[in-house]
């Protein structure tokens, strides 16, 4: 027999083993990513990050940016817990259309993405919070922090403040000059599993990301029209009979203007009850229920139902991955002074201009 491992050698061996397990589970090789002050977990260090984004991006140019977003989220949540779901929905609806570029916030003479019925579930209070956070950040460091980054940060912060995992997100996105009138890439509540997977695959997200990000429906409410197909003309046999009775009373017609929680039991808490609802017939929309059409997806549903930590770990991984769909950099974007209004393609000079130049030099700006 060989010599017993010393304590330090044992720790090193376990670290290597943990790394191998995480890489196998999440598919991300250890890689160098610029880090300007963020304290990263081992898992976060494994997430592939696109060139141009960095951890702790605003650590010098606007060191209070993330704190300001956190404080504004906390202030809004004191008045309305439902704002968490609204904030979490924003980056999904923004990123899936033309990338994570805050296009969903723009209001131009030609209209806005919010005019599309697919964005009818976007809550005004979530939009108000982003505007509020942007205004406060502009006072601290004008012309530095993009609305696109604020959307991603607010979504992340909402998760943390209602019971979910705390995690970092790479930053450095710029805002788009325009919006897209085509929102066809947004997944529908009526999609089959294959349609969902096709929509996610198109955005470089896989089946594991699909199941984990579907867990965002642990928060928020749905309108009757989003699930009435499971009630009429006949009740979906996969629905729990008592739950179906409740839904029929809530939505006596398809056009009833009423809502109910995606997760009936804890709609304002980020937890794994969404997955547990599969076993009891308490899943709300067709697209959610249709995760059982695929063996891999259903196994993940059962796994996350039994292991909330595993769900949290995969969710943060998939959220960070989703937040890197089509980011804008350099001349392809701008730093809007108001999230609803384009700067007409002009980057406003600010007193932080020297810092911005240094960011370009050391690689943080990627302009």
Residues catalogued as catalytic: 93
Q: Is 271 annotated as a binding residue?
A: yes
User: What residues contact 239, with CB distance under 8 A and at least 6 apart?
Assistant: 230, 247, 281
Q: Is the dihedral of CA 142, 158, 203, 226 positive or negative?
A: negative
- Residue entry with tokens 């991955």: 321
Cα 169 to Cα 317: distance, rounded to the nearest angstrom: 10
Is 113 annotated as a binding-site member? Answer: yes
> Of 349, 123, 345, 329, which is closest to residue 220 (Cα–Cα)?
123
Q: Quick one: which of 179, 195, 152, 177 has its CA closest to 50? A: 152
Tell me if 87 sits within 8 A of 155, measured CB to CB: yes
245 is in an annotated binding site: no
**CA-angle at 22, arms to 314 and 291, nearest 5°:** 35
Name the residue among 357, 346, 335 with its Cα closest to residue 144: 335
Query: Is 34 flagged in the annotation as binding?
Result: no
288 is in an annotated binding site: no
Token duo for residue 255: 């056009």
C-alpha 342, offset from chain centre: 23
Q: Which residue, chain included where needed, has tokens 């880090």?
A: 35
- Which has the closest alpha carbon to 206: 274, 101, 296, 307? 296
| Residue 350 annotated as part of some ligand binding site | no
What whole-number distance in Å separates Cα of residue 353 and Cα of residue 6? Answer: 52
Ligand-binding annotation for 97, yes or no, is yes
Token pair 């940016």 in the structure block, residue: 65
CA–CA gap between residue 91 and residue 152 (Å, rounded): 6
Q: What is the DSSP letter of 194?
A: H
Question: Is 263 flagged in the annotation as binding?
Answer: yes
Give the residue ranges of DSSP H helices in 202-307: 207-214, 241-250, 273-280, 286-289, 295-306
Distances (CA, A) of 120 to 131, 183, 197, 272: 19, 12, 23, 26
Rounded Cα distance between 332 and 354, Å, is 21
Residues 6+ apart with CB under 8 A from 199: 96, 185, 186, 187, 191
Annotated binding-site positions for Ca(2+): 94, 97, 99, 101, 103, 113, 218, 263, 266, 271
- Binding positions for heme b are 217
What residues form the annotated binding site?
94, 97, 99, 101, 103, 113, 187, 217-218, 263, 266, 271
């Amino acid at each position: 027999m060989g010599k017993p491992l010393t304590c330090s050698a044992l720790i090193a061996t376990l670290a290597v083993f943990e790394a191998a397990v995480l890489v196998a589970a999440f598919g991300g090789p250890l890689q160098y990513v610029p880090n300007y002050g963020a304290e990263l977990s081992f898992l976060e260090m494994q997430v592939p990050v696109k060139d141009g984004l960095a951890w702790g991006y605003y650590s010098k140019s606007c060191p209070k940016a993330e704190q300001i977003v956190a404080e504004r989220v906390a202030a809004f949540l004191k008045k309305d817990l439902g704002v968490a779901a609204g904030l979490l929905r924003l980056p999904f609806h923004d990123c899936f259309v033309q990338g994570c570029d805050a296009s969903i916030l723009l209001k131009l003479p030609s209209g806005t993405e919010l005019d599309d019925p697919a964005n009818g579930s976007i809550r005004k209070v979530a939009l108000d919070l982003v505007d509020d956070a942007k205004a406060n950040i502009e006072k601290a460091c004008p012309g530095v922090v993009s609305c696109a980054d604020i959307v991603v940060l607010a979504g992340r912060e909402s998760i943390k403040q209602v019971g979910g995992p705390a995690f970092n997100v790479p930053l450095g996105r710029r805002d788009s000059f325009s919006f897209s009138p085509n929102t066809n890439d947004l997944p529908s509540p009526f999609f089959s599993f294959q349609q969902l997977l096709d929509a996610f695959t198109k955005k470089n997200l896989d089946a594991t990301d699909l199941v984990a990000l579907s867990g965002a429906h642990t928060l928020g409410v749905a309108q009757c029209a989003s699930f009435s197909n499971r009630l009429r003309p006949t009740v979906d046999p996969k629905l729990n009979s008592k739950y179906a009775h409740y839904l029929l009373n809530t939505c006596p017609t398809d056009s009833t203007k009423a809502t109910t929680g995606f997760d009936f039991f804890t709609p304002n808490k980020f937890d794994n009850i969404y997955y547990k609802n599969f076993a009891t017939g308490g899943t709300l929309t067709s697209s959610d229920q249709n995760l059982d059409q695929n063996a891999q997806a259903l196994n993940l549903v059962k796994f996350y139902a039994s292991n909330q930590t595993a769900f949290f770990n995969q969710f943060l991984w998939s959220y960070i991955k989703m937040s890197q769909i089509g980011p804008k950099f350099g001349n392809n974007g701008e730093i809007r002074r108001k999230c609803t209004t384009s700067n007409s393609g002009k980057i406003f000079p600010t007193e932080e201009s020297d810092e911005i130049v240094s960011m370009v030099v050391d690689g943080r700006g990627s302009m």
